[in-house]
Amino acid sequence: MPSTKDQLTKYEKIEAFVKGFKLSTLTYKRVMTLLNSEMKSGLTKQTNHVADIKMFPTFVRSLPDGTEKGEFLALDLGGTNFRVLLVKLHGSDVEIESKTYLIPQRIMLGTGKQLFDHIADCIGKFVKDHNIQGQKLPLGFTFSFPCKQEDLAAARLSKWTKGFRCEGVVGENICHLLHEALKRRTNCDVEIIAVVNDAVGTLMSAAHSDRNCEIGLILGTGCNACYMEDLDNVGLWEAADDDHPQQVIINTEWGAFGDNGCLDFIRTEYDRELDTYSINPGKQIMEKMISGMYMGEIVRLVLERLTMEGLLLHGADRECLLFERGKFYTKYVSEIESDHDEFFANTKQVLEELGIENFTTEDCKIVKYVCTLVSARAAFLAAAGLATLINKIGRKEMTIAVDGSLYRFHPRFHNLMCLKIQELIRPGQKFKLALSHDGSGKGAALVAAVAMRLRNIKGLKDVEVAA
Ligand code: ADP
Ligand code: MG
Distance 259 CA to ligand 1 centre (A): 23
> Does residue 439 have its Cβ closer than 6 Å to ligand 1?
no
Q: Whose CA is nearest to atom 17 of ligand 1?
A: 292
CA distance 433 to 436: 9
- Using DSSP's 3-state secondary structure scheme, residue 1 falls into coil
> Does residue 329 have its Cβ closer than 6 Å to ligand 1?
yes
Distance 119 CA to ligand 1 centre (A): 21
Distance 319 CA to ligand 1 centre (A): 27
User: Which ligand lies nearest the alpha carbon of 202?
Assistant: 2
> Does residue 449 have its Cβ closer than 6 Å to ligand 1?
no
144 is known as an active-site residue:
yes
Candidate list 52, 76, 117, 144, residue with the active-site label: 144
Q: pLDDT truncated to tens, each residue of the chain (467 aa)?
A: 455 666 679 999 999 999 999 999 999 999 999 999 999 999 999 999 999 999 999 989 888 888 888 999 999 998 888 999 999 998 888 899 999 999 999 999 999 999 999 999 999 999 999 999 888 999 999 999 999 999 999 999 999 999 899 999 999 999 999 999 999 999 888 999 999 999 999 999 999 889 899 999 999 999 999 999 999 999 888 776 777 788 999 999 999 999 999 999 999 999 999 999 999 999 999 999 999 999 999 999 999 999 999 999 998 999 999 999 999 999 999 999 999 999 999 999 999 999 998 999 999 999 999 999 999 999 999 999 999 999 999 999 999 999 999 999 999 999 999 999 999 999 999 999 999 988 888 899 989 988 888 777 766 666 665 65
Alpha helices in 345-443 (DSSP H): 345-353, 361-393, 405-409, 413-424
> Does residue 330 have its Cβ closer than 6 Å to ligand 1?
yes
Strands 223-230 and 213-219: antiparallel
- At residue 248, the pLDDT reads 93
- At residue 63, the pLDDT reads 83
317 is known as an active-site residue:
no
CA 355, 360, 361, 367 dihedral sign is negative
Atom of ligand 1 nearest to the CA of 335: 23
Distance 12 CA to ligand 2 centre (A): 40
Largest CA distance in the chain: 91
Candidate list 83, 339, 403, 440, residue with the active-site label: 83
Distance 133 CA to ligand 1 centre (A): 33
Q: Whose CA is nearest to atom 4 of ligand 1?
A: 79
DSSP string covering 145-204: S-EEEEETTEEEE----TT---BT-BTSBHHHHHHHHHHHH----EEEEEEE-HHHHHHH
Distance of CA 110 to the CA centre of its chain: 23
User: Which ligand lies nearest the alpha carbon of 224?
Assistant: 1
- At residue 134, the pLDDT reads 85
CA distance 331 to 406: 8
- At residue 66, the pLDDT reads 81
> Does residue 251 have its Cβ closer than 6 Å to ligand 1?
no
Q: Specify whether the CB–CB gap between 406 and 413 falls below 8 A.
A: yes
Q: Specify whether the CB–CB gap between 191 and 138 falls below 8 A.
A: yes
CA distances, 62 to each of 81, 245, 449, 454, 467 (Å): 28, 7, 11, 9, 28
Q: Whose CA is nearest to atom 15 of ligand 1?
A: 292
| Mutate which of 405, 412, 436, 440 for ligand 1 pocket (most atoms within 8 A of beta carbon) | 405
| b/e sequence 143-162, b meaning 16+ C-beta within 10 Å | bbbbbebeebbbbbbbbbbb
> Does residue 221 have its Cβ closer than 6 Å to ligand 1?
yes
Atom of ligand 1 nearest to the CA of 404: 6
CA distance 363 to 102: 37
- The Cα angle at residue 415 between residues 220 and 367, in degrees rounded to 5: 70
- Residue 304 main-chain phi, psi, to 5 deg: -60, -45
Distance 406 CA to ligand 2 centre (A): 11
- At residue 34, the pLDDT reads 98
- Residue 88 main-chain phi, psi, to 5 deg: -110, 115
| Mutate which of 221, 295, 329 for ligand 1 pocket (most atoms within 8 A of beta carbon) | 221
Q: pTM score, two decimals?
A: 0.94
Distance 83 CA to ligand 2 centre (A): 9
CA distance 404 to 211: 21
Distance 453 CA to ligand 1 centre (A): 34
Establish how many alpha carbons lie within 13 A of residue 312's alpha carbon, considering only the half-sphere containing its beta carbon.
26
Q: Whose CA is nearest to atom 7 of ligand 1?
A: 405
CA 296, 297, 301, 302 dihedral sign is negative
- At residue 438, the pLDDT reads 83
Q: Whose CA is nearest to atom 3 of ligand 1?
A: 79
Atom of ligand 1 nearest to the CA of 78: 3
Q: Specify whether the CB–CB gap between 330 and 298 falls below 8 A.
A: no
Q: Whose CA is nearest to atom 21 of ligand 1?
A: 331
Q: Specify whether the CB–CB gap between 139 and 152 falls below 8 A.
A: no
